[in-house]
Amino acid sequence: MAAENMNREVVLSVKDLKVNFRAYGGLVQAVRGISFDLYRGETLAIVGESGSGKSVSIKAILGILANNAIIADGSIMYDGMDLTKVKEDTFHEIRGNRIGLIFQDPLSALNPIMKIGNQITESLRLNRKMKKEEAKKVALELMKSVGIPEPEKRFDQYPFQFSGGMRQRIVIAIALAGDPEILICDEPTTALDVTVQAKILELINQIKKERNLSVIFITHDLGVVANMADRVNVMYAGKVVETGTAEEIFFEPAHPYTWALLSSMPDLHTKDRLDAIPGTPPNMIYPPKGDAFAARNAYAMKIDYEMEPPMFKITDTHAAATWLLHPKAAANGIEMPAGLKARIERMKRSGALNG
Amino acid sequence: MKYVLQRIGAMLLTLFMVMSLSFMVIRLMPMSLFENPEVPKEIQEKLEDKFHLNDPLPVQYFYFMEGIVTGLDFGISVKLRPGLDVWGIIVSRLPPTMLINFISLFISIPLGLIFGIIAALKRNTWIDSTISVFVILFISVPSFVFASLLQYVLTFVFPIFPTLYDSTATTLGAMMWSLTLPIIALSLSPIATLTRYLRGELIENISSDYILLARTKGLSRPQAIVRHAFRNSMMPITSTLVSLITGIMGGSLVVESMFAIPGTGGMLVKSIFAGDHFLTVAILIFYSAISLVTILVVDLSYSLIDPRVRVGGGK
C-alpha cells in the first residue's frame, strides 16, 4: 500500500500550518506547523488526545475557524488554491461542494425545527439552483444510500423523530449532497452507541469506495483507526509527532507518545492493568522548550528538554519526531515497552488491521 | 385541540383566583365607600344596604361574583364618576390606553429585533458596546422617569411637543402629536428588553453546531444565520412578549397620569387614591384578563413555531 500511495495524486496538501488563538491569557498556539498530504481515494486518520490540534487543523481546512483564530503561517493547497487565503465570501462554494464535513455530535448538528428533507435539499436549492422536486429526488436517493428506511416518510419529519444513529446518517447525507471529493469526519462516532458506531463506520467505508472519496478521519479511538485508515498522523501539542501507514503505526510504532497511546488502548486479551499516560498536555500559551511530550515521557532524555526533535525518516512513508531515532540515541537500544510488544505480536497474529 | 382547551381552562382558573384576590385585598382596605359629610347618615346606610356593604365579606363576595358572571356587572362608580356603571367607564376609557399601548408595542418589536440582530452580528465591537450601554440604561430606569425627562426637555426647554394630551384635538394628526412623548417613554424599556434577549439568543445560536453544519454544507454565513439562527432564536423571544406587554401596561398606569391621558391606566391610579373600590377592582380584573389572554396566545403560538410542541404533543 505504501508504494501505491507514492504514485497517487495529491488532492490536498497542508504545509507548515500554524494556527493561534487570541485568548485572555495570551496567544494559544493550537497548531504549531503541521504538514501532510492527502492522496486521492485514501483514508488518512489524524489521531491525538483532546487539545492536540486535530480539530483546529480541519477547521482551518474548511475555513470555519472561530473569530479569535489566526492562521499565522503555512498553506493549505487544494485544486490550485491556497485555502488559507480564500475569502469568506467565496469559501462557501468550496465547503459542501468540494469538501464535506461529518460532525462529532449528530444530536446537536441538525436544526431542531427544520424538516430533515429541507436540511438536505437546502444547499442544493440555494447553491445549485435546483427545482424543489429535483432536489427532493436527489435527497431521497441520498437518504436511501445512507440506509434510511422509508425515505419518503422520513423526508417530512423533524430531527427529534430520529435516533442518534439515524441522525448521523442524515448528517452524512447532508455532507454528500454537494457531491464533495474530500470528506472530513470529525470523530463521527464518539457520541454514538458502540453497535451504532460500527454501522456508521461501515457506511463511511462503503460510500468512500462508491464515490472514490478522499477521507480525513479525526479520532482519538485507535480501534476505529485500525478499521478505517490507510495512513495515520499522530498529533501531540499541535504537531505531527509520527506519521506512517496504518501497519507501520500499529506494528512498528517509533514515537514514545504512540507507544503510550497504543498501551492505553483496551483490548480483549490484556489481563494487566492498562497503562495511562501520566500528566496532562502542556499549556499551549507557553509551549515547552524542546519536545512537548518530554515531561510525560518515561523515555525522555536530556536533549528532549532542550531541543525540539526533527522528523526522523524511518521508511519512505514512516517518520517520527523523537530523539530516540537519532543515530547516537539509537545506539543505546531503547525499545518500546515489553507489554506493548507482546500486544503488537497478538494484533499481527489476529490480523487486527483491515485497513 | 385538547391542549388548547387545557390552556383555556387554566386561564379561567387563574382569572378566577385573580378576581377573588383583588376583591379581598381592595375590600379589606379601610375606607367606607359612601363616606360623605354632606349626605345624611340614614341615606348612607340605605346605600350601603343596597350594595350589600353591611353583609359579611364572604356574602359580599358571592354577590360580586354573581354580578360579574350573570351580566358583567362590576358595580357602579361612587367617587370619580358617581352613579355610572363601572364596565361602561372602562369601555369608554379604553381607546386612548389601547392606542398608546399597542402603538408602543408595535414600535418596540421591530426596533428591538433590529437592534438585537445588529448587536449580535457586530458582537464585541463598538457598535455592540454602544447598544449595550443604552440597553442597560433603558432597562434599569423606569418609564415614568423618561416620561418626565422627555416632558421637561421637549415641551419646556424646547417646546416642540404639547405637555399634555390634547383632548380637544380635532384631527388625528394633532392627537397623535400629543401622544408621541408618552409612546416614546413607554417604548424605550421594551425595545431594550427585546434587544438584550435577542442578542443573547442569537449569539448562542450562531455558535451552535447546526449553524456550523449549515455553513459546511455550503451556505454563506448570512444565509446560515437568517435561515437557521433567527427562527430558533424566536422561540424564547416569544415568551418575553408577555413580559413586554405587561411591562408596557404597567408603565402606562403612571405615564397616562403624567400626560393627562384619559385612559384606564390613569383611572386605576385615581380610583385607588379616591377609594372608588368597585372601579379599582374592575380595572384590576380587566388588566389581569388582558395579561392572561396574552399568555394564552403566546402559549398557543409555540406550537406554530416549534414542531416539537406540535408533533410531540399529538403523541
Q: Give per-residue pLDDT as tens, A159-199.
A: 999 998 899 999 999 999 988 999 999 988 888 888 888 88
Amino acid B315: pLDDT: 38
What cell does B30 get?
379601610
Q: Which amino acid is at B2?
A: K
Last residue of a domain, one of B71, B99, B126: B71
State the virtual CA torsion across A192, A242, A322, A305 in degrees, nearest 10. -50
For range B279-308, the mean pLDDT: 87
pLDDT of A63-96, one tens digit each?
888 888 999 999 999 998 999 999 888 888 898 8
Amino acid B311: pLDDT: 67
Contacts with B, A 46-85, CB within 8 Å: 62, 64
Q: Mean pLDDT over all residues of chain A?
A: 87
Do B41 and B149 sit in the same domain of this protein?
Answer: no
d(CA A50, CA A53): 8
In a domain, B82, yes or no: no
Q: Do B219 and A111 touch (CB under 8 A)?
A: no
Do B176 and B228 sit in the same domain of this protein?
Answer: yes
Say if CB A322 and CB A256 are below 8 A apart.
yes
Share of chain A above pLDDT 90, in %: 48
Contacts with A93 from chain B: Cβ below 8 Å: 218
Amino acid B72: pLDDT: 81
Helix (H) or strand (E) holding A72: strand A69-78
Amino acid B20: pLDDT: 92
Amino acid A284: pLDDT: 84
Do B61 and B155 sit in the same domain of this protein?
Answer: no
Do B121 and B186 sit in the same domain of this protein?
Answer: yes
Do B189 and B294 sit in the same domain of this protein?
Answer: yes
Nearest by CB to residue B216, choosing from A62, A114, A161, is A62
Which residue, B294, B297, B295, B284, is CA-closest to B68?
Answer: B284
A149 touches B at CB < 8 Å: no
Do B21 and B102 sit in the same domain of this protein?
Answer: no
What cell does A7 get?
504514485
In a domain, B76, yes or no: no
Question: Would the pLDDT of A251 be above 80?
Answer: yes
Residues making up chain A, counted from first to last? 355
Question: In this predicted complex, what is the ipTM?
Answer: 0.81
Rounded to 5°, angle at Cα A23 from A22 and A26:
85
Do B51 and B149 sit in the same domain of this protein?
Answer: no
Do B134 and B11 sit in the same domain of this protein?
Answer: no
Question: Would the pLDDT of B38 be above 80?
Answer: no
Contacts with A113 from chain B: Cβ below 8 Å: 231-232, 235, 305-308
In a domain, B298, yes or no: yes
For range A233-238, the mean pLDDT: 93
For range B248-258, the mean pLDDT: 91
Do B105 and B181 sit in the same domain of this protein?
Answer: yes
Question: Would the pLDDT of A278 be above 50?
Answer: yes
Q: How confident is the model at residue B123 (pLDDT cuts 50, 70, 90)?
A: confident
For range A98-114, the mean pLDDT: 89
Q: What are phi and psi of A15, to 5 degrees?
A: -125, 115
> Which range has the top average pLDDT, A213-217, A344-348, B141-145, B300-304?
A213-217
Share of chain A above pLDDT 70, in %: 96
Contacts with A101 from chain B: Cβ below 8 Å: 213, 216
Q: Mean pLDDT over all residues of chain B?
A: 87
Do B104 and B250 sit in the same domain of this protein?
Answer: yes
Q: Do A108 and B209 touch (CB under 8 A)?
A: yes
In a domain, B148, yes or no: yes
In a domain, B84, yes or no: no
Question: Would the pLDDT of A233 be above 90?
Answer: yes
In a domain, B79, yes or no: no
Question: Would the pLDDT of B32 be above 90?
Answer: no
For range B34-60, the mean pLDDT: 77
The shortest C-alpha distance from A174 to chain B (Å) reads 7
Q: How confident is the model at residue B170 (pLDDT cuts 50, 70, 90)?
A: confident
Question: Would the pLDDT of A270 be above 80?
Answer: no
Look at chain B and report how many structural domains it folds into. 2
d(CA A292, CA B282): 76
- Domain residues for the domain of B53 are 2-71
Q: Do B217 and A158 touch (CB under 8 A)?
A: no
Amino acid A353: pLDDT: 64
A118 touches B at CB < 8 Å: no
d(CA A37, CA A293): 24
Do B96 and B135 sit in the same domain of this protein?
Answer: yes
Q: Which amino acid is at B51?
A: F
Amino acid B240: pLDDT: 87
Q: How many CB pairs under 8 A join A and B?
A: 85
The shortest C-alpha distance from A145 to chain B (Å) reads 18
Do B66 and B198 sit in the same domain of this protein?
Answer: no
Say if CB A205 and CB A217 are below 8 A apart.
no
In a domain, B100, yes or no: yes
Amino acid A148: pLDDT: 92
Q: In what order do the strands lie in the sheet with A312-313?
A: A99-102, A182-186, A214-219, A43-47, A231-236, A239-245, A319-320, A312-313
Q: Do B232 and A175 touch (CB under 8 A)?
A: no
Helix axes A116-127, A164-177, angle to 10 degrees: 10
The residue with cell 514514545 is A256
A23 touches B at CB < 8 Å: no
Q: How confident is the model at residue B1 (pLDDT cuts 50, 70, 90)?
A: confident
Contacts with A115 from chain B: Cβ below 8 Å: 307
Q: Which residues, 6 or more positions from A251, have their beta carbon under 8 angstroms from its beta carbon? A: A344, A347, A348
pLDDT of A209-232, one tens digit each?
999 999 999 988 888 888 889 999
Amino acid A174: pLDDT: 93
